[in-house]
Amino acid sequence: MSEHVSPVSLYVTIFLSLMVLTGVTVYSAFVDMGYLNFPVAMLIAGFKASLVVWYFMHVKWQSHLTKLTLATGLFFLAILLAMTLIDYTSKNFTPQPPPTDPAMAVQPH
Amino acid sequence: MSNAVAHADHGHARADAPHPAQQHHFDNLAQQKEAAVIGMWLFLLTEILFFGGLFVAYMIYRVWYFDAFAEASRRLSLFWGGLNTAVLIGSSLTMALAVRAAQTNNRKWTINWLLITTILGCVFLGVKVIEYEDKFANHEVPGYNYDFSYHERHLAVEGHAPAAGEHREPSLSPEQLQQTTQIYFSLYFTMTGLHALHMIIGVGLMLVITWMAWKGKFDAQYYTPVEMSGLYWHFVDIVWIFLFPLLYLVNRHI
């Protein structure tokens, strides 16, 4: 079989990139970017996941059918996340306010 | 006639005899491998949507109870969480190297890398035990004994109260915190617990594959089980790559 064998240096490079990006994630969490903190954290995590999928999981060297299979899954995940969140954040499903009744307060241990 | 047929069916001595690992319903090993890869990815898609449901639940409650999530997230240790992230990424590297060793017909290092991957997986689970133990000790497990203020009172008794400059005033009353932070910790235990269950299964998988490698079942033509276990292992790593910022890094900058 003509399987692609990647050089060890590629795997080590990906590993080091993932470690650096983990450091960047932690660092960025302590920088006040307002509403951008969450998207930045998710962008970095998404990029890290892509590196793992593309190189460690060999999707780069797989058939179009495999790539399409993965894309289908991500598409349905996007529907699951986007449609549900659009529903919950736009239709005024506000939760019950948390109780301020002292009777609900904790009993000290 | 019947003799001739029997002879043809058992002609393993021929030069073009199929690889012993090839199943009879596949034309060749490449086709068999492709079927395995597609099948494994289909399984991983169900896993993506399995965890996806939890991520949706997390997102909805995070939007609704953001202040509670921000307060509760600080109770997690960045040191242990960061260490576990590094351990898991490292185990993904050793897993990729194990597959590479199998591709290059290196039985010794296939086994070595698989064992190192197994050990790193166990280190991850050990750190998780330390973290869970701390949550139980601090009454941060949702349920009857949940007590969000226990941690702070405990610190004050031991003389570790935060300095004046470090003190932040939460936007929620103690009663509100007591109730809403339980949602965060419920999600924390469900998501990390399900992830840890996948790790335990992964460690078991590693041991089986190591045993198969030890028995010499793989070579450069056939190493599909090593690669499929690798796909599973990397997937579990990816789930953690998202869990770490979602659970440990909510609004740390305040």
Domain boundaries, chain B: 28-164+172-248
Residues in A touching B33 (Cβ below 8 Å): 1
Find how far residue B35's CA is from the centre of its chain.
25
Identify the closest residue of chain A to B254 by CA–CA distance.
A32
ipTM of the complex: 0.87
- Quick check: A58 contacting B, CB < 8 Å? yes
The residue with greater pLDDT, B158 or B56, is B56
| Model confidence at B2: pLDDT above 50 | no
Q: What is the mean pLDDT of residues B217-244?
A: 95
Residues of chain A with pLDDT under 50: 1-2, 99-102, 109
pLDDT in tens, B170-184: 778 888 888 889 999
Full-model pTM: 0.88
Q: Do A101 and B175 touch (CB under 8 A)?
A: yes
The 8-class DSSP code of residue B163 comes to: P
Q: What is the mean pLDDT of residues B227-244?
A: 97
* Residue B215's pLDDT band (cuts 50, 70, 90): very high
Handedness of CA A81, A83, A84, A88 (dihedral sign): positive
Q: Which two tokens stand for residue B59?
A: 């997102």
Q: Which two tokens stand for residue B50?
A: 């399995």
In degrees to the nearest 10, what's the CA dihedral of B229, B223, B120, A56? -70
Tokens 């007591």 appear where? B178
pLDDT, position B63: 87
The domain ranges of chain A are 1-61, 62-92
Q: Do B234 and A57 touch (CB under 8 A)?
A: yes
Tokens 């590993």 appear where? A15
Are B60 and A85 in contact by the 8 Å Cβ rule? The answer is yes
Nearest to B180 by CA among B253, B57, B71: B71
How many A×B Cβ pairs under 8 Å? 162
Residues in A touching B139 (Cβ below 8 Å): 109
| Architecture, CATH, for domain B28-164+172-248 | Up-down Bundle (1.20)
Q: Do A73 and B44 touch (CB under 8 A)?
A: yes
Q: What is the mean pLDDT of residues B108-116?
A: 97
Nearest to B248 by CA among B165, B192, B171, B205: B192
pLDDT, position A26: 95
Q: How far apart are CA B117 and CA B92, in angstroms?
A: 8
